[in-house]
Structure 1
Amino acid sequence: MNTPADVTDSPATLMVIDDHPLLRRGVRQLLEVEDDLTLVSDTGSPHEGLAQALEQEPDMLLLDLNMPDLDGLALLSRLRAGGYAGRIIMYTVSDQEDNVVDALRNGADGYLLKDMEPEDLVHQLRQAARGQMAISDDLTGLLARALRNQRPAGAPAGLDALTRREREILRELAEGMSNKLIARELAITEGTVKVHVKHLLKKLGLRSRVEAAVWAVQQGLAPDH
C-alpha cells in the first residue's frame, strides 16, 4: 500500500468518547491489531472527554452523538471553541438528515454509522487520518440531497460559477484531499488554497469543505470511492 508523503511512520492516535462501555471495548480490541492506528484513551463522560481531548490532543476523536448531560453536537462545538484542531468523526446510530448536516456544519470531519462492518470502520479511520472525509457510504446521497434542498435561494446552480482554479481545487476536495496536499499537488501555497476554498464555498452556497466535497462527487466531478 502506498503511503501519502505527509503521513509519518508514527501511528495515528485516536480517542473515543462514547457512553457505551461495550462499544469502547470493541473499538479498542479492533485497533489492537492495527499498526497504524492507536487508541490512546476512551471515556464514557463527555465532560471528561472534553478535558482529555484538549490536554492530550490526539489526532482523531470518535464521538458519539447521543450522550447524557452533553450531547455530541454540543461537545463538538466546545471542542472546536477550545482549540482542538484534530479530526472529529461522529459515530452514531442516527442517520437523520438534520443530524448529519448539523454535525458537518459545526466542524465534524466525518459521520459514521455504528452498524458498519468493523473493517469498514478501520478503513474510514485511515481515510480520516490522511486528511480525507469519513462518511458512511449510505449517507452520501442523503447528504447531497440535503445540501441541494438547503442551498440559499439565488446561489449559483453549478460549476459554471467557478474559475478554472476553483474547479481544480474542488476536484481535489472531492477526492478528500487536505489543504496541504492540494497545495502540493497544484504547486501553490496552502494559504492560496484556503482563499480559493473560501471563495468557491461562497459561490456554491455551501458552508464547509466536507459539504463541497460531497456536492462535487454528486456532480460527477470525482469518482465516488
Structure 2
Amino acid sequence: MSPSFKCLIVDAFPIVRSRLRDTLETLPSVEQVTEAGKIEQALDILKRQSVDLLTLDIKIGNSNGFELLRRARAHGFAGKVLFISSEDYSTYSQLAKESSANGYISKSEEESLIKDAIQSILKGYSLFKLDSHIAHSKQMPLSEREQVVFDYLVQGYSNKQISELLSLSAKTISTYKSRILDKHNASSIIELMNYQSHKPSVPSQYTQIAL
C-alpha cells in the first residue's frame, strides 16, 4: 500500500498558499492539505492533527518561520519541513539545514522544481542549495536565534518589542544584537543591511542528500 501524507502550508499570502495547495494535491501520495496564514494558527493545527510535511516561509507576517519551527519541535512535531521562500538563499539555506529542516527552495524556482523538491523530501531526502561563497567564507554564521533577532531588527523592531515577541529580556536581545554585529564586523544594523543588499551573486546549485 502506498504511503499517504498530510501536509500543512504556512504562508502569509493566500495566493501562495493556493498555488502550493494545487501543487501538493497533484501528488498521489498526498492525502490531505491544510493551510495557515499565521504562526499561532499553524501551531494550533499542529497540536490538533497529525502533519507529515510542513512547508513554511522565512517571514510569516510579522513573525518568523524559524521561530515557528523551533516552537513546533519543542511541542513534539517530528514531521518533515521544507522552507519555500523568496528570501536570499545565501543567508538562509544553511541556517534552515541547521534548524532541523529537510530542505530550502526559492519561490522564484520553476513550479516543476518545487514539486520535485516536495516529492524528494517526502521520499526521505534533504534538499538544500549550496553556495561556494558560504562554504569558503570565514565569516561566522548566525545561530538560529540570532537570525530571528536580526530579521526583526531589519524590519525596524526595537529591542523591547523583540523581547516581548520572543519572551526574552531586552538585555538578552541587546546581547544577541552585539553578537550579530561582531560576527559581521559591522558597527550598526544599517551597515549590515547595506552589506546584505549589495552582496554579489555567486554560482550555486541544489544538492540532494539521502537521509
- TM-score w.r.t. the length of structure 1 is 0.58
Q: Does 1:149 align with 2:137?
A: yes
Cross-structure match for 1:21: 14
Summarize deviations over 1:46-71 as a string: whole Å, max 9, x none: 11102212332311110111112421
Secondary structure (helix, strand or coil) at the match of 1:51 reads helix
Cross-structure match for 2:183: none
CA contact (8 A) 2:21 2:33 kept: no
Kindly report which structure 2 residues correspond to 1:1-225, keeping only aligned pairs within 5 A, or say none. Answer: 9-135=2-128, 139-140=129-130, 142=131, 144-149=132-137, 176-178=209-211
How far is 1:82 from its partner? 1.4
State the one-letter code of the partner of 1:149: S
CA contact (8 A) 1:28 1:39 kept: no
Cα gap change, 1:78 to 1:38, in 2 (>3 Å)? same
Cα gap change, 1:65 to 1:9, in 2 (>3 Å)? same
How far is 1:40 from its partner? 2.2
Secondary structure (helix, strand or coil) at the match of 1:84 reads coil
Cα gap change, 1:151 to 1:127, in 2 (>3 Å)? farther
State the one-letter code of the partner of 1:85: A
State the one-letter code of the partner of 2:10: I
Cα gap change, 1:119 to 1:49, in 2 (>3 Å)? same
Secondary structure (helix, strand or coil) at the match of 1:101 reads helix
State the one-letter code of the partner of 2:102: D
Cα gap change, 1:151 to 1:125, in 2 (>3 Å)? same
In the alignment of these two chains, the number of paired residues is 145
Summarize deviations over 1:63-103 as a string: whole Å, max 9, x none: 11111242111111111111111111111001242322222
State the one-letter code of the partner of 2:27: E
> What percent of counterpart residues are identical?
21
- TM-score w.r.t. the length of structure 2 is 0.61
User: Structure 2: how far apart are the matches of 1:62 and 1:150?
Assistant: 31
User: Structure 2: how far apart are the matches of 1:83 and 1:148?
Assistant: 35
User: Structure 2: how far apart are the matches of 1:39 and 1:117?
Assistant: 23
Q: Which aligned runs of 4 or more in structure 1 are off by greater than 4 angstroms?
A: none
How far is 1:134 from its partner? 2.4
User: Structure 2: how far apart are the matches of 1:90 and 1:13?
Assistant: 16
How far is 1:150 from its partner? 5.5
User: Structure 2: how far apart are the matches of 1:14 and 1:151?
Assistant: 36
Summarize deviations over 1:142-183 as a string: whole Å, max 9, x none: 1x542443699xxxxxxxxxxxxxxxxxxxxx86322xxxxx
